[in-house]
Structure 1
Amino acid sequence: MESNTHQHLKHQALLWLKAKMTDLCATEVKFVVQRRKRTADAVGINMKRKEARIVEVKASRSDFLRDEVLQGELGYDAVAAYAYILTPAGLLKKEEVPERYGLLEIDEYDNIKVIKRPVKNKKPKLKLETLIKRTGRAATNAFLFQQESKLSRDKTNGAFEKKALAHLVRITCAQCKKRNSYVIAPDAEEITCAVKTCGHKIEVHKGRPFHVTSYNEDFLKQLSQVAEQKNIYVVEDPVSKEKNVSDQRTS
Structure 2
Amino acid sequence: MHSVPHWDPQQYLRHATHRTRPFLDLLARIPELPPGTRPARIADIGCGPGNVTALLADRWPDAHITGYDLSADMLEQAEKRYAGTTPGGGWLDFRPADAAHWTPDEPYDLIVSNAALQWVPNHPESFPGWIEGLAPGGTFAFQVPGNFTAPSHDLLGRLCDLPRWRERLGDQGRRFVHILEPEDYLLRLADLGCATDVWETTYSQLLQGEDPVLDWVKGTALRPVLTTLDGDEAAVEEFLGQYRQMLREAYPPGPHGTVFPFRRVFAVATRTA
With the length of structure 2 as denominator, give the TM-score of the two structures.
0.27
Q: Which has a greater percent of helix?
A: 2
Q: TM-score normalized by structure 1?
A: 0.29
